[in-house]
Amino acid sequence: MTLVVLADIHSNYAALEAAVHRIDVLCPDGVVLLGDYITDCPYPRRTMDLIYALRQKYPVYMVRGNREDYILTHRRAIREGRDDGWSVGSGSGALLYTYDQLTGADLDFLESLPISLDISLPGCPPITACHGSPTKTKDWIIGNDEKIRTAMKYTAGDLILCGHAHCSVRYDRYGKTLLVCPSLGIPQDKNDHSTMVVLRCSGKKWVRDTSLSCTFAPYDMEAFLREFRASELPEIAPAWSKCVMKSITDRVPYPAQCAAIAYRTARSKGVQGIPPEEYWQEAARQLGIE
């Protein structure tokens, strides 16, 4: 049995397309998708269409990520007539852009996904797939002993697969393995160039294939970034888009760093809610992103 695992695509359809070509060469028994399929990069429907096509060719096991939750929460706010503060600007513009690009059918599909999924394949140990943790899409599990213990002791899988952190981390405890999988769309680990995970069931044990063809799917990054710059997204979320694009090239979590600076500065000046654009622009400048 062979499984390919992809996490955190973030609308990077070019990276996903390259991964799909690699999947077609590997001909796996299934594909596991760990959430955060959309937001941050342009043209999210291209990503959705690739996912739909993949589901036509292989058994695909999918869970919902926190980015999908954000979009679905916005839809609920609209339906209830509430203003959740989303507007053009780096604070929520990328989310608003994504929401406006998706169809109702896309949103219904994303809402149907679970946040945790147990996968049982013949002759193989059970797997539990999730995004942040088995109980929360936005959980940060790395380095948190209590959350690691809960995830590993109280889930069905002998192997727990997580995304969300955009880097690779492995824990072996309680006779189980917890594997935090790298991001396909916006990888953020300079020390590990993996963007995908290939698992093979051997001797009733899941083993990761660490060969280059099973860890990295190259694509034309410069062409993708040119399309990114030519899209509407940089106008809708200016500083955020710059941080995302530089993060793709440098493998550094600039968007999260920018958000932390913008919110910290805004709060220090008594500004509540989503910080105005000037705070994001200043945060990007502090990070050396112009």
SS (H, E, C) 14-51: HHHHHHHHHHHHHCCCEEEECCCCCCCCCCHHHHHHHH
Give the pLDDT of residue 115: 97
Going by C-alpha positions, the residue among 214, 222, 208, 165 that lies closest to residue 194 is 214
Give the pLDDT of residue 125: 95
Going by C-alpha positions, the residue among 203, 196, 155 that lies closest to residue 176 is 155
SS3 257: helix
pLDDT in tens, 149-185: 999 988 999 999 999 999 999 999 989 999 999 999 9
Looking up tokens 């339906």 gives 79
pLDDT in tens, 232-285: 999 999 999 999 999 999 999 999 999 999 999 999 999 999 999 999 999 999
Q: Residue 49 corresponds to which tokens in the numbers above? A: 């269409």
Question: Would you kindly state where each structural domain of the chain is located, as residue ranges?
Answer: 2-214, 232-286
Which one-letter DSSP state was computed for residue 276? P
Alpha helix (H) ranges present in the chain?
13-26, 44-57, 66-79, 93-101, 104-112, 145-153, 221-230, 233-236, 238-250, 254-268, 277-286
Give the pLDDT of residue 153: 87
Going by C-alpha positions, the residue among 65, 66, 76, 70 that lies closest to residue 96 is 70
Give the rounded percent of residues in the chain with a pLDDT score beyond 90: 94
Give the pLDDT of residue 240: 98
Give the pLDDT of residue 227: 98
Give the pLDDT of residue 126: 96
Contact between 139 and 221 (Cβ < 8 Å): no
Give the pLDDT of residue 290: 85
In CATH, the number for domain 2-214 is 3.60.21.10
pLDDT confidence band for 203 (50 / 70 / 90): confident
Residue type, 186: I
Phi, psi values for residue 101, rounded to 5°: -80, -25
Beta pairing, strands 176-180 & 169-173: antiparallel
pLDDT in tens, 58-78: 999 999 999 999 999 999 999
Q: CA 271 to CA 135: how far, in whole Å?
A: 32
Average pLDDT, the chain: 96
